[in-house]
């Protein structure tokens, strides 16, 4: 892999991944709607609004691999999600096909399965239960990934990212936290591993409180280094200060599940 495009390069995950992937791929091209504030002289930037196909094609032309982090990364109004994550994601995969890109690593989210209760341990083959319009848009991205993999031979890896950061910040994040180095490891498997055709991974570190079976990632060599339990005292102390949220505490998606919730928690499915 000589030339890799990172979309959403100015965002939180993009900013860290750029540093972690530097030197591993000879040419890293960055794109976003806005120029990253910390753009280094040796970094190449192509401004692109994902909802604009011509701009996306310009960003994609000539790359072999794409790490697609771009889009709206939390719950939002329908039109925002539609432009950034539905139309934007379609444009990205379609531009990848037109320009014969070999691989796409798609930043999916735990919010595609947010409505599974915390007491369930699930793999990547369960029916999706998105917890938000945002989660639905990530499910759409995963579906596009499967379409382009099986119809057009694009090698696609979808990573259902839990919560990315230097440390887990509350009880829920003790289960779903992913350390930056571990996410970088998963991205590299998606970009490099010869056996990748179409894969779905959970973007999660080695968390003893975890809810997800990440066998597919382990099969391809993933060896997470982050252990959320090492941060449990601070995370639980922070959690104790949060207001009660019975719906969010029941489900894996947390506050994304209680937000706009209008059913009764007594009907919560297992
Ligand atoms: C996500 O998908 C979001 O992008 C991130 O901001 C967090 O909210 C994370 O999920 C989470 O579930 O903690």
Q: What is the pLDDT tens value at each position of the chain, 270 positions in all?
A: 999 999 999 999 999 999 999 999 999 999 999 999 999 888 899 999 999 999 999 999 999 999 999 999 999 999 999 999 999 999 999 999 999 999 999 999 999 999 999 999 999 999 999 999 999 999 999 999 999 999 999 999 999 999 999 999 999 999 999 999 999 999 999 999 999 999 999 999 999 999 999 999 999 999 999 999 999 999 999 999 999 999 999 999 999 999 999 998 888 877
Can you give the pLDDT at residue 144?
A: 98
Neighbours of 268 (CB within 10 A): 14
Beta-carbon contacts of 39 under 8 Å, excluding residues fewer than 6 positions away, are 30, 45
Annotation marks residue 202 as catalytic: no
pLDDT of residue 42: 84
Q: What is the pLDDT of residue 231?
A: 98
pLDDT of residue 255: 98
Q: Exactly one of 25, 116, 134, 202 is catalytic; which is it?
A: 134
Q: Is 109 in the pocket of ligand 1 (CB under 6 A)?
A: yes
- Atom nearest to 173 CA in ligand 1: 13
pLDDT at 269: 77
User: Residue 161 Cα, ligand 1 centroid: separation in angstroms?
Assistant: 8
What was the pLDDT predicted at 95?
98
Instruction: Give the per-residue pLDDT at 186.
Output: 99
Per-domain boundaries in the chain: 3-258
Q: Whose CA is nearest to atom 11 of ligand 1?
A: 163
Position 7 scores a pLDDT of 98
pLDDT of residue 81: 98
Q: Is there an atom of ligand 1 within 6 Å of 163 CB?
A: yes
pLDDT of res. 267 = 81
Ligand 1 mean position, distance from CA 256 (Å) = 9
pLDDT of residue 41: 86
- Rounded distance from Cα 67 to ligand 1 centre (Å): 18
pLDDT for the residue numbered 153: 98
168's CB contacts (< 8 A; 6+ apart) are 174, 176, 177, 207, 228, 231, 235
pLDDT in the model for residue 111: 98
pLDDT value at residue 24: 96
User: How far apart are the CA of 132 and the centre of ligand 1, in A?
Assistant: 11
Can you give the pLDDT at residue 246? 95
Q: Is the CB of 68 under 6 A from ligand 1?
A: no
- Residue 256, exposed/middle/buried by CB under 10 A (0-12, 13-18, 19+)? buried
The finding on whether 132 has its CB within 6 A of some atom of ligand 1 is no
Which atom of ligand 1 is the closest one to the Cα of 161? 2
Architecture of domain 3-258: 3-Layer(aba) Sandwich (3.40)
| Residue-level pLDDT at 72 | 98
Phi-psi region of 122 (alpha: psi -120 to 50; beta: other; left: phi over 0): beta
């Amino acid at each position: 892999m000589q030339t890799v495009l990172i979309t959403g390069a100015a965002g939180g995950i993009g900013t860290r991944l750029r540093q972690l992937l530097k030197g591993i791929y000879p040419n890293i091209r960055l794109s976003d709607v806005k120029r990253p504030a910390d753009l280094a002289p040796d970094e190449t930037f192509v401004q692109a609004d994902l909802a604009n196909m011509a701009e996306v094609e310009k960003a994609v032309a000539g790359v072999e691999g794409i790490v697609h982090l771009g889009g709206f990364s939390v719950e939002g109004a329908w039109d925002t999600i539609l432009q950034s994550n539905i139309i934007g994601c379609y444009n990205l995969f379609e531009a990848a096909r037109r320009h014969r890109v070999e691989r796409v690593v798609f930043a999916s989210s735990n919010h595609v399965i947010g409505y599974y209760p915390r007491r369930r341990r699930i793999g990547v083959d369960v029916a999706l239960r998105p917890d938000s319009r945002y989660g639905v848009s990530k499910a759409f991205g995963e579906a596009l990934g499967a379409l382009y993999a099986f119809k057009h031979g694009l090698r696609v890896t979808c990573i259902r990212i839990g919560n990315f950061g230097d440390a887990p910040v509350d009880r829920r994040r003790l289960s779903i936290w992913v350390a930056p180095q571990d996410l970088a490891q998963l991205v590299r498997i998606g970009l490099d591993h010869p056996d990748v055709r179409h894969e779905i991974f959970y973007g999660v570190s080695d968390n003893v409180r975890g809810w997800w079976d990440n066998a597919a990632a382990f099969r391809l060599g993933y060896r997470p280094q982050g252990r959320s339990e090492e941060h449990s005292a601070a995370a639980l102390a922070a959690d104790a200060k949060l207001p009660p949220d019975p719906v969010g505490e029941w489900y894996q998606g947390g506050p994304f599940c209680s937000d706009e919730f209008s059913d009764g928690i007594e009907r919560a499915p297992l």
